[in-house]
Amino acid sequence: MNRQIILVKRPDGLPSEECFKLLEGEIPELKDGEVLVKTMYLSVDPYMRGRMNDGKSYISPFALNEVLTGGVVGEVVESKSDEFAKGDMVMGGFLGWQDYSIAKAGDLIKVENKDLSPGVFLGILGMPGLTAYFGILDVGKPKAGETVVVSGAAGAVGMTAGQIAKIKGCTVIGISGSDKKNEYLVKELGFDNALNYNTGNLRKELKKICPQGVDVYFDNVGGEISDAVMTLINYKARIPICGQISLYNVKRPPVGPRVQVQLLTKSAVMEGFLIFDYKERFGEGMEQLSKWISENKLKYSENIVEGLENAPKAFLGLFAGENLGKQIVKVV
Ligand SMILES: NC(=O)c1ccc[n+]([C@@H]2O[C@H](COP(=O)([O-])OP(=O)(O)OC[C@H]3O[C@@H](n4cnc5c(N)ncnc54)[C@H](OP(=O)(O)O)[C@@H]3O)[C@@H](O)[C@H]2O)c1
């Protein structure tokens, strides 16, 4: 039997466990060119919140009463493709929240790496790591000596983006929701400083620790945190818009300060980007990220929840700040 997590209700605001249901289904027959993958780890990601809504976006919504899909690392248990053999470890970006998924061979990549845990292909060497790599380097363009601020800094994307900016010789300030996370950013990852957005006056604190202003603001969260950072941007600042998690569950987007005057008077550039924009360059990104990891210049953290049945809980935890680093679910 194949245990599956199904979307049974679209959320109105913050999702709850009632939106999900665990069912048992059959494992369908393989067709030529297909591979049967046994899930070892699955990824829960903030972007999935958007897919729970029934609206048009850059990616199609999850269908009601269907299994949820996302990144999976697993083992090939049966193959009708010449490209994969039984026992291969593979990663697929859109397999199911289920014990077994059928995938077309072209939708999988082999991910053997004896030195690293398999979860890295959902994290630092997967979609979040590549997002950080292209977002900070291609959009943020950090130069040595500049000040870089990263929000959502203790998450999978944020901690990678901040460390890359450090590699490039910048002063890096993280913003997260807890002192414990901030201690990790500074002591373990080498961030220069980190602020807790839940305590104190963020704008005032930032102004104190960024006396030269902000040259790059890597925005993972939006909302009032970003409003505070935007008041401190420098001439020719770059603001990569990676995510807006503080707004994913709001029913009506709040009206904040209008940033156009700030961008105009600072000749600054604010630019949204999606990881899919860089799909032709994923190989380059994975190679460089792997090299930095092997040189001990880049570290990562995984928050692992055990059991397929706990995938909804792990997903909801993203909106409560329960994860330090990449949130993954260990299925077997
Ligand atoms: N552009 C792209 O292609 C792309 C690709 C991947 C991810 N993203 C975006 O990048 C961002 C980070 O993704 P990730 O996978 O690395 O997730 P993550 O940061 O590992 O997990 C989410 C974190 O967001 C913080 N958060 C939750 N609600 C918040 C709120 N209301 N205000 C401020 N912070 C809040 C929490 O940390 P705290 O304890 O600090 O609150 C939580 O741990 C997300 O916005 C995601 O949508 C974009």
Indicate which residue's Cα is closest to atom 7 of ligand 1: 128
Indicate which residue's Cα is closest to atom 32 of ligand 1: 246
Q: Is any atom of ligand 1 closer than 6 Å to the C-beta of 158? A: yes
Gap from CA of 219 to ligand 1 centroid (Å) = 9
Q: Which pLDDT score is estimated for 28?
A: 82
Gap from CA of 151 to ligand 1 centroid (Å) = 8
Show Cβ contacts of residue 270 under 8 Å, excluding neighbours closer than 6 positions: 239, 241, 259, 263
Q: Is any atom of ligand 1 closer than 6 Å to the C-beta of 176? A: yes
Q: Is any atom of ligand 1 closer than 6 Å to the C-beta of 71? A: no
Gap from CA of 217 to ligand 1 centroid (Å) = 15
Per residue in 60-110, pLDDT (tens digit) is 999 999 999 999 999 999 999 999 999 999 999 999 999 999 999 999 999
Is residue 210 within 8 Å of 147, Cβ to Cβ?
yes
Indicate which residue's Cα is closest to atom 30 of ligand 1: 246
Among 199, 221, 313, which residue has the most ligand 1 atoms within 8 Å of its CB, making it the best to mutate?
221
CA-based nearest residue to 306, from 13, 9, 37, 39: 39
CA-based nearest residue to 231, from 200, 254, 205: 205
Q: Which pLDDT score is estimated for 226?
A: 98
**In percent, how much of the chain has pLDDT > 70?**
100
Gap from CA of 242 to ligand 1 centroid (Å) = 9
pLDDT at 113 over 90: no
Q: Is any atom of ligand 1 closer than 6 Å to the C-beta of 318? A: yes
Per residue in 190-209, pLDDT (tens digit) is 999 999 999 999 999 999 99
Q: Is any atom of ligand 1 closer than 6 Å to the C-beta of 196? A: no
Residue-by-residue DSSP string for 173-242: EEEES-HHHHHHHHHTT--SEEEETTSS-HHHHHHHH-TT-EEEEEBSS-HHHHHHHHTTEEEEEEEEE-
Q: Which pLDDT score is estimated for 260?
A: 97
Can you tell me the distance from the alpha carbon of 71 to that of 170, in angstroms, rounded to the nearest whole number? 32
Indicate which residue's Cα is closest to atom 22 of ligand 1: 318
Q: Which ligand 1 atom is the nearest neighbour of the CA of 47? A: 47
Give the CA distances from residue 179 to residues 102, 116, 176, 182, 200, in Å, rounded to whole numbers and listed in that order: 43, 28, 8, 5, 12
Gap from CA of 23 to ligand 1 centroid (Å) = 29
Average pLDDT rounded to a whole number, residues 129-157: 98
Gap from CA of 139 to ligand 1 centroid (Å) = 18
Indicate which residue's Cα is closest to atom 37 of ligand 1: 321
Q: Is any atom of ligand 1 closer than 6 Å to the C-beta of 321? A: yes
pLDDT band at 51 (very low <50, low <70, confident <90, very high): very high
* DSSP code for 67: B
Gap from CA of 326 to ligand 1 centroid (Å) = 10
pLDDT at 302 over 80: yes
Gap from CA of 81 to ligand 1 centroid (Å) = 37
Q: Is the dihedral of CA 281, 284, 288, 293 positive or negative?
A: positive
Report how many helices (DSSP H) and strands (DSSP E) the chain contains, helices first: 9, 15
Gap from CA of 30 to ligand 1 centroid (Å) = 36
Q: Which pLDDT score is estimated for 115?
A: 85
